[in-house]
Chains A and B, each alone.
Chain A
């Protein structure tokens, strides 16, 4: 069974940093691209970042570029999002999602972790 479990969310002050993790199981993690998607309270979904299976290709939304860094450790079946210079508008539930390139779809999603940026 495919499982994605996010962790690392919490309350952080503006300008602070946080590192999110996504633990994957039930599939060959190293064969799939992965994504982070976020959802501000009461708002819609926003794609944040993508990383290819071997980390060769990395993309960011303009809203986070230069502040967030996506990475992965295929040996640990884990995806990460290092978030620096956090702003109030980064407050959201952050989801990791598996990407199936042959279908061009985000098929499995984690349950999300809440990041709150507030003084």
Chain B
């Protein structure tokens, strides 16, 4: 059973910078896992932010960036805004019969 692990919760001050990470129980996360990041606010559907490690969708604010960091996928928010308070999920690709696994999510509080 593959497990994808994220920080359960993080707190950041408005205007600050925070990095969320995404680890795989199978080992280091590489670009071959095509890391995706999604934002979800209460009562809303998830919204795609980042794909294939570091690529932004046309609607993704510039303050969001994706990378690989220390064997994990990472999502960095720079100049955090109050509206960035949300749950963030990573998604990794494993191929085979069970191709996709979501992380457990990180609840980001802007305080």
**A residues apposed to B, CB below 8 Å:** 35, 37, 44-47, 50, 59-62, 95, 97, 100, 103-112
Contact = CB atoms under 8 A, between A and B. Distances in A.
A44 B38 CA distance: 12
Contact of A106 (B52, B91, B97, B101): B91
B46 A109 contact: yes
A114 B89 CA distance: 20
Counting from the closest, the 3 A-B pairs by CB-CB distance are A105-B51, A104-B34, A47-B100
B91 A103 contact: no
A100 B104 CA distance: 23
Interface in B40-92: 40, 45-48, 51-52, 55, 57, 87, 89, 91
Interface of B: prevailing SS: strand
B98 A44 contact: no
Given A103-B51, A104-B36, A107-B48, 11 more contacts: A35-B100, A44-B105, A46-B102, A47-B91, A47-B100, A59-B97, A103-B52, A105-B57, A106-B48, A109-B47, A111-B45
A14 to B, nearest CB: 24
A60 B96 CA distance: 11
Contact of A61 (B34, B98, B103): B98
A44 B106 CA distance: 10
Nearest to A110: B45
A47 B101 contact: yes
Which of B38, B45, B87, B102 has the most C-beta atoms of chain A within 10 angstroms of its own C-beta?
B45
Given A103-B51, A106-B91, A45 B45 contact: no
A108 B57 CA distance: 11
Contacts of A47: 91, 99-102
A50 B99 CA distance: 9
Contacts of A50: 99-100
